[in-house]
Amino acid sequence: MAVRVAINGYGTIGKRVADAVAGQPDMKIVGVTKNRPSFEARRAVELKMPLYGATDKGVDALKKAGFSVAGGLKDLLKESDIVVDCTPEDLGAENLRTYRDHKVKAIFQGGEEHDAIGWSFNANANFRDTLGKDYVRVVSCNTTGLIRTLYPFHAAGAAEDIYAVMIRRATDPNDSKKGPVNAIEPALNLPSHHGPDVASVVHALPIHTMAVKVPTTLMHLHAVVVRLKRAMSDQEVADLWSRQPRVMFVKGAEGFVSTAQIIEWARDQRRPRGDLWETAIWGDGFKVEGKTLYYYQAIHQESDVVPENVDCIRAMLRVTDEGAKSIEVTDKAMGILRPGARVEVPARAP
Amino acid sequence: MAVRVAINGYGTIGKRVADAVAGQPDMKIVGVTKNRPSFEARRAVELKMPLYGATDKGVDALKKAGFSVAGGLKDLLKESDIVVDCTPEDLGAENLRTYRDHKVKAIFQGGEEHDAIGWSFNANANFRDTLGKDYVRVVSCNTTGLIRTLYPFHAAGAAEDIYAVMIRRATDPNDSKKGPVNAIEPALNLPSHHGPDVASVVHALPIHTMAVKVPTTLMHLHAVVVRLKRAMSDQEVADLWSRQPRVMFVKGAEGFVSTAQIIEWARDQRRPRGDLWETAIWGDGFKVEGKTLYYYQAIHQESDVVPENVDCIRAMLRVTDEGAKSIEVTDKAMGILRPGARVEVPARAP
Amino acid sequence: MAVRVAINGYGTIGKRVADAVAGQPDMKIVGVTKNRPSFEARRAVELKMPLYGATDKGVDALKKAGFSVAGGLKDLLKESDIVVDCTPEDLGAENLRTYRDHKVKAIFQGGEEHDAIGWSFNANANFRDTLGKDYVRVVSCNTTGLIRTLYPFHAAGAAEDIYAVMIRRATDPNDSKKGPVNAIEPALNLPSHHGPDVASVVHALPIHTMAVKVPTTLMHLHAVVVRLKRAMSDQEVADLWSRQPRVMFVKGAEGFVSTAQIIEWARDQRRPRGDLWETAIWGDGFKVEGKTLYYYQAIHQESDVVPENVDCIRAMLRVTDEGAKSIEVTDKAMGILRPGARVEVPARAP
Amino acid sequence: MAVRVAINGYGTIGKRVADAVAGQPDMKIVGVTKNRPSFEARRAVELKMPLYGATDKGVDALKKAGFSVAGGLKDLLKESDIVVDCTPEDLGAENLRTYRDHKVKAIFQGGEEHDAIGWSFNANANFRDTLGKDYVRVVSCNTTGLIRTLYPFHAAGAAEDIYAVMIRRATDPNDSKKGPVNAIEPALNLPSHHGPDVASVVHALPIHTMAVKVPTTLMHLHAVVVRLKRAMSDQEVADLWSRQPRVMFVKGAEGFVSTAQIIEWARDQRRPRGDLWETAIWGDGFKVEGKTLYYYQAIHQESDVVPENVDCIRAMLRVTDEGAKSIEVTDKAMGILRPGARVEVPARAP
């Protein structure tokens, strides 16, 4: 029987999680909430997703605009096994009380503090430890991206120290209010929160992070240096990544000279919304010099956490006890590239 | 029997025309050309589109990179009833000689000069006059957008004078080389070429145009003033547009406050590549004051000419003699909104 | 004896007006207000401008940060013959009551509504009618730019109709919060407010305006079409503009292909802050076709109203009754180019 | 007697070096070269700098446009003790042969390879070793910025390892051709050239660098991590930097939240062209945690190397043998902040 999933907050993340959940063989969407009669609310209706108001005011606003509204958040919770909270940053902790009152499990997004939720999740890193939990945070897009490519070094006991600078997109592509238009803004509170965020999932990873905001909307880009405990070859590193789920390779030599071409590739693939759920590593943009590994990776801020949310549902409801199994089901349903898939020209014919 | 279509230049426009043609009930792609072993070339292979080199050098480069290449442009032309030329600007005139030598009809894009090709096309405006032609230019994205919303005023004999300013996106989203990063660049050669371009299809339309380039990649935006021959109401104007194919309405009140949200809508609709084939008019951003009509429209530079290319194929090969019939088939196959479709919240329940 | 001028709001406009006033032979700054201990406040101190708090809270905040504060706004008003209100948009009307209570004349900026202030000003257009007024609005940067180049057509009775589209910079260069980063945003309320704003100074000018916001910080750019009552030559038009104060010419052929090079020119001239007080017209980017004149002009949003504020002070306090005289004094003190100055290569030697 | 300095290439860097040299008590400009009749060429004439053509073609183009031309590059070299080569990247090595043929010493910019020139310079790091050299490269803006803030750690033997990521502006503010408009572009060749460039001046500094390009024009920003050999306090680090020439502090708490406000500060200071010759460190954006130091610094790509060029002239011509003396003279003439100057609110009165 399909797990009943509610989405609280049908926005940038919420609508993507809703689509991904709806496409899983073992899950269904029982409703989504919205507070304003926007084109996104209308899209939910087109997709036959039952529409609820996130607040009483929202119910009224939607009704006034002619929407057929199934009820408020509390009504929705009664129909749900689990709710994925995709409300704006910092509302989550307050919402948690509501979910607890209604005895519904809840997933929160990376905008919330770890301490406010109590547990943080990444499918590859701590699925098993998340089994049966009631309240879990899926870490942010940047943190998810870092864990995906750093976890194997951690698992192999290969990382002495990690230095990562996050060059963050200014705002999502669907926003036209926020800047900067022509400036670079550093995150002055040092080190940036990304290091502790990674550590909330992969404890004791020796990572040091800084972050800046730049005028682009497409993707984040990470510049990472790993001091290895022992010298490795480029091939060893590539092999390590090739076994990781949700990691893909792109090459500058094939036209991927910036984040622009990565998104173009995703559009060409007919990915919904041009999303890139995988973390993209430049196959010709990483290098080991002795014990120092340098690499760049690009992170699609709108979508890389979506499959993680799906897996998190399975862990919390114990749909399966195996992370690898969940990842396989999720990835197949969504069309995520298999581990190690390379974006490259076809092999030369023999 | 399906018409055999070749695409010369599988880039931003070419790959979209290829997809659209491949989806038509009465057409098929016999091959596409490419000159470099890029991720776009690989995508063509994934889509089972026979890959040709556009030049001898291209054939070699592709083969060297391991691609299976079906031949050169001349080989492709032998298999084709018609070729859609999507090569970079200003190569078209030279290519025309090759097509003529091979007795293959050819469609060119708006980057070519009207005089170099001899005939210009818009599906709604001059389908019938294009029947059986050998060499035709589908006018540019901006010109197509202008014709779509201005033609009905012309047909109704309602326009005294038209003033349009094109605020053009700097470059396509998949490009990271061109600017400007932080400047506005006027087209100093006045009036801009858009007026004569419109007139190459709709003769004697009294249009005056100017253009600037601005640092964005998503869409062009037009600010248009029409001096009407007689006073009209907002409703009359809306009705005129509502009968036009490939014109859609968006509303600021529903969240469409800029081009960013229009593209978001197209992404949410699961449009391939987030494309918007229609010209988007702001339903709450046009106004008639006496005999003066003001309106804004947004143009998706990457895709609005795609359905026009499809219709142009039918006209030139006389697949049908009726423009309206061709438009209907094209639009159904592509998923283009029906005329007058409004992007708005559902009507209030009774 | 020098006129005593207060600046309420030492920000983007206020600090520029303060500098300009301080440089006039017949004026002096008696104080400027600020509410936060920022680097701008510190700059006022460095320049020996007496620092006041705009509000009681501001006085406290500045004192707490170690600034020597001369008092509050009311203290400053007691020392002043006139106050230039450069506070954020829409605070002006409220401030007007304070100024009236203190019997101090006041100038407001273009962010205020004409009706809230009662009179609007441009030095060249209505200096004489402004003599002795108590509360006056200096119209906005865009409106000032339009008046400068359109007024001569009005004065010559040459304009039948005017169509202007303002392509506006997203935000000032010193701001990093506001967007859009990658979108074009139309002003949906049509026609835009610029037409009525022009008419608040030059009554009955038949102008129709639209406006969009684009991701740049340097300058606004206007695309203007004038339907002339009679055919004119390019030279006649150039001559008309060449007699106007605060109008300058740039040429694409000399490297001015966008707003970027205009600002570069101002920087090279050692203009303070790289400001451009003049309205820049492209000498090779305007054209008359029959009775239709097309032209582009660039507007430095941060500074073009500064000399207008200076002249407005003279008009309101009747320092002189002659606008031309005031303009001459202002322009000489600031280093503004004389009317008709052309930015071009030196004439060929004989 | 004043040293006779020629500038070959009066562009972004050349015009700034020319101004700086002209303002020194012991130097004079004998001529500048230009190849096109642009507004920059005209500015040189306004400033009474003798104008030469960089090539024969340039001489002709300038003459044809009406400029009075003093001759070609070779004529200029005859009048010069030293030439500062500010021609576009990668022309330097070729020009070196010309300079050698004319027995004129020459300074090159950071766009050239170290090996092509043979010696690299930073005023604070290796003035003395540069005494009397014939051909010297002043390292690039980014490298200069890195050396300024890292050299003291090197000199104190305090740095174990350094990791720096350069977030580079896309293009200069006066350019409107280059992008990216909306993308982040990594420097795929790893590690980036900045590490070896630093080492070309400060040998054996253990620095590891990466770099990305982002859509902004104002400044570069560096995110730097230093692994210290011993734990230091924030105050010790601040003190170290406070003794360095051409290093200044800004604070987020005073409004410097991005590169935008730093440039605004320079504009407010009436710096020519709004230039910032100093390297700006965020006083509330650096931190030591144990033996790990994190800091951000902003680099004005157009101007930070200008004082270094001036000092390099003195070293090569042995005007003085003391770097500290040269720096003092240069900085006083240009108005550069004294070491350790802090951008902060005035100290609280006692």
Contacting residues of D for B171, CB less than 8 Å apart: 179, 181
pLDDT at B347: 43
What average pLDDT does this structure show over A231-253?
94
Which ranges constitute the DSSP H helices of D157-233? 194-199
CA gap C34, C27 in Å, rounded: 21
- Residues of chain C with Cβ-Cβ distance to D218 below 8 Å are 173
Same domain, A125 and A176: no
Q: Where are the alpha helices (DSSP H) in chain B?
A: 12-22, 39-46, 56-64, 73-78, 92-101, 114-117, 123-130, 141-155, 194-199, 234-242, 259-268, 306-316, 323-334
Distance from CA of C301 to the nearest CA of B (A): 14
> Out of C65, C260, C273, whose CB is closest to D274?
C273
For A10-55, the pLDDT digits (tens) are 999 999 999 999 999 999 999 999 999 999 999 999 999 999 999 9
Residue B54: name the closest of B43, B30, B70 by CA.
Answer: B70
Question: Do A190 and D259 count as a contact with CB atoms less than 8 A apart?
Answer: no
Residue B338 resides in a domain: no
pLDDT computed for residue B349 by the predictor: 36
Shortest CA distance from C162: residue in chain B: B163
* Contact residues on chain A for C176, CB-CB shorter than 8 A: 179-181, 183, 185
Considering the domain architecture, whether residues C128 and C170 belong to the same structural domain is answered as no
Q: A67 and B346 in contact by Cβ < 8 A?
A: yes
Nearest CA in chain C to D218: C173
Cβ neighbours for B94, distance < 8 A, ≥ 6 positions apart? none
Which residue in D81, D80, D112 sits closest to D96, CA to CA? D112
Using pLDDT thresholds of 50, 70 and 90, give the confidence band for residue C343.
Answer: low
Q: Is D86 a catalytic residue?
A: no
**pLDDT of amino acid C88:** 87
Q: Enter the tokens of residue B36.
A: 């470099």
From C67, C273, C345, residue closest to D268, measured CB to CB: C273
Report whether pLDDT(D348) > 60: no
- Among chain B residues, the shortest Cα distance to A262 is held by B174
Do both A131 and A35 map to the same domain? Answer: yes
Q: Provide the residue range defining the domain that includes B173.
A: 141-299
**What's residue D338's pLDDT?**
87
Question: To probe the interface with B, which of C162, C163, C251 has the most B CB atoms within 10 Å?
Answer: C163
Which DSSP symbol is given to C139? P
Cα dihedral across residues B171, B173, B174, B175: positive or negative: positive
Q: Is residue B218 left, alpha or beta, with left meaning phi > 0 and alpha meaning psi from -120 to 50?
A: alpha
* A345 inside domain: no
Q: Has residue A337 got a pLDDT over 80?
A: yes
Q: Find the closest chain B residue to A39 by CA distance.
A: B254
In a domain? residue C102: yes
User: B22 lies in a domain?
Assistant: yes
Q: Spell out the residues 6+ positions from residue C268 whose beta carbon is closer than 8 angstroms to its own.
A: D15, D39, D40, D43, D273
Is residue D345 predicted with pLDDT exceeding 60?
no
* Nearest CB to D282; choose among A186, A286, A296: A186
Whether residue D233 contacts residue D248, with contact meaning beta carbons closer than 8 Å, is answered with no
> Under 8 Å CB-to-CB from B103, ≥6 apart: which residues?
none
Query: Looking at the structure, do residues A122 and A107 belong to the same domain, yes or no?
Result: yes
* Residue at C161 is within a domain: yes
Decide: helix, strand or coil at residue C71: coil
- Among candidates A254, A261, A268 on the partner chain, residue whose Cβ is nearest the Cβ of B273: A268
Q: Which pLDDT does position C277 carry in this prediction?
A: 98
* Confidence bin at D342 (pLDDT 50/70/90): low
Q: pLDDT (tens digit, 9 = 90+) per residue, D78-120?
A: 999 999 999 988 788 889 999 999 999 999 999 999 999 999 9
Report phi then psi at C335, rounded to 5. 90, 25
Q: Do D73 and D187 belong to one domain? A: no
Question: How many structural domains are present in chain C?
Answer: 2
Query: Which chains are within 8 Å of C by 3+ CB pairs?
Result: A, B, D
Please tell me whether residue B282 adopts helix, strand or coil conformation: strand
- Among the options B61, B141, B232, B329, which is catalytic? B141
Confidence (pLDDT) at D344? 53
Mean pLDDT of B196-216: 96
Residues C29 and C89 in one domain: yes
Q: What tens digit of pLDDT does each residue of D249-281 get?
A: 999 999 999 999 999 999 999 999 999 999 999
Of the pLDDT bands very low, low, confident and very high (cuts 50, 70, 90), residue C341 is: confident
Q: Do C285 and C311 sit in the same domain of this protein?
A: no
Count the alpha carbons within 13 Å of D184 in the hemisphere toward its beta carbon.
28
Which residues in chain B touch residue D216, judged by CB atoms under 8 angstroms apart? 181-182
Query: C228 lies in a domain?
Result: yes
Q: Which pLDDT score is estimated for A347? A: 43
A179 with C181: Cβ contact below 8 A? yes
Give the minimum alpha-carbon distance from C309 to chain B in angstroms, rounded to a whole number.
27
Neighbours of chain A (3+ CB pairs under 8 A): B, C, D
Residue D349 has pLDDT above 50, yes or no: no
Q: Do A67 and B176 touch (CB under 8 A)?
A: no
Mean pLDDT, chain A, as a whole number? 95
**Contact (CB<8Å) A186/D223:** yes
Nearest by CB to C175, from A171, A177, A179: name it. A179
Pairwise CA distance, residues C91 & C106, whole Å = 13
Considering only CB atoms, which chain D residues are within 8 Å of A161?
Answer: 227
C231 CA to centre of own chain: 31
Residues of A in contact with B41 (CB under 8 A): 345
Task: Map tokens 């999933």 to a residue.
Answer: A5
CA distance linking residue A260 with residue D186, whole number of Å: 11
Helix (H, G, I), strand (E, B) or coil at C314: helix
Residue B111 CB-density burial (10 A; 0-12 exposed, 13-18 middle, 19+ buried): middle
Q: Is residue D345 part of a domain?
A: no
Answer for the pair D314, D320: CB distance below 8 angstroms, yes or no.
yes
Q: Is B283 within the bounds of a domain?
A: yes
Q: Which residues contact A18 (CB under 8 A, 6 or more apart)?
A: A7, A10, A29, A32, A44, A47, A49
Give the Å distances, CA to CA, from B27 to A38, B30, B132.
38, 10, 17
Residue found under tokens 């399975």: A314
Nearest-angstrom CA–CA distance, B107 and B120: 10
For residue B285, the 8-state DSSP code is E
Residues D89 and D188 in one domain: no
All residues of chain D having their beta carbon less than 8 Å from the beta carbon of residue C51 are none
Task: Please write the tens of the pLDDT for every residue from D126-144.
Answer: 999 999 999 999 999 999 9
Cβ contacts of C267 on chain D, cutoff 8 Å: 272-274
Are residues B251 and B220 part of one domain? yes
C62: domain CATH number?
A: 3.40.50.720
Where would I find the beta strands (DSSP E) of chain D? 3-8, 27-34, 51-53, 71-72, 82-85, 105-108, 120-121, 135-138, 159-169, 185-186, 207-214, 220-228, 247-250, 279-289, 292-299
Nearest chain C Cα distance for residue B173, angstroms: 10
* Same domain? C322 vs C287: no
Instruction: Give the best residue of B19, B250, B273 to mutate against chain A (max A CB count within 10 A).
Output: B273
**For the residues of D110-139, what is the DSSP string, one character each?**
TTS-HHHHS-EE-HHHHHHHHTT-SEEEEP
Contacts of C258 in chain B (CB under 8 A): 180, 183-186, 213
What is the radius of gyration, based on Cα positions, of chain C? 20
Type of residue numbered C26: D
* Range A219-243 average pLDDT: 95
Q: Does B180 sit behind a cis peptide bond, omega within 30 degrees of 0 on the bond before it?
A: yes
pLDDT in tens, A65-90: 999 999 999 999 999 999 999 998 87
Residue B337 clears pLDDT 60, i.e. is over it: yes
Query: β-strand C105-108 against C82-85: which pairing, if any?
Result: parallel
Q: What is the pLDDT of residue C349?
A: 36
3-state class (DSSP) for residue A343: coil
pLDDT, residue B344, reads: 53
Does the distance separating the beta carbons of B175 and D177 come in below 8 Å?
A: no
Helix and strand numbers, DSSP H then E, in chain B: 13, 15
Neighbouring chains to D with at least 3 Cβ pairs closer than 8 Å = A, B, C
Structure tokens, B109: 């894009």
Q: Is C143 helix (H, G, I), strand (E, B) or coil?
A: helix
Nearest chain A alpha carbon to B47: A269
Distance from CA of B259 to the nearest CA of C (A): 5
Same domain, D44 and D111: yes
Label residue A342 by pLDDT band (50, 70, 90). low
Q: Helix A234-242 and helix A141-155: axis angle, to 10°? A: 120
Give the mean pLDDT of chain D. 95
CB contact under 8 Å between D188 and A292, yes or no, is no
The chains found to touch B (3+ Cβ pairs under 8 angstroms) are: A, C, D
Check B216 against C184: CB less than 8 A apart. Answer: yes
In whole angstroms, give the CA distance from residue A105 to residue A95: 12
Give the catalytic positions of C in this structure: 141
- For the record, the structure tokens of D294 come out as 């994190």
CATH number at residue B223: 3.30.360.10
Best of C249, C273, C275, C300 to substitute, by most chain D Cβ atoms within 10 angstroms, is C273
Distance of CA B319 to the CA centre of its chain: 20
Distance (Å, whole) CA B254 – CA B262: 11
Spatial strand order in the sheet of C279-289: C185-186, C207-214, C159-169, C220-228, C292-299, C279-289, C247-250
Note whether D92 and D237 are same-domain residues.
no
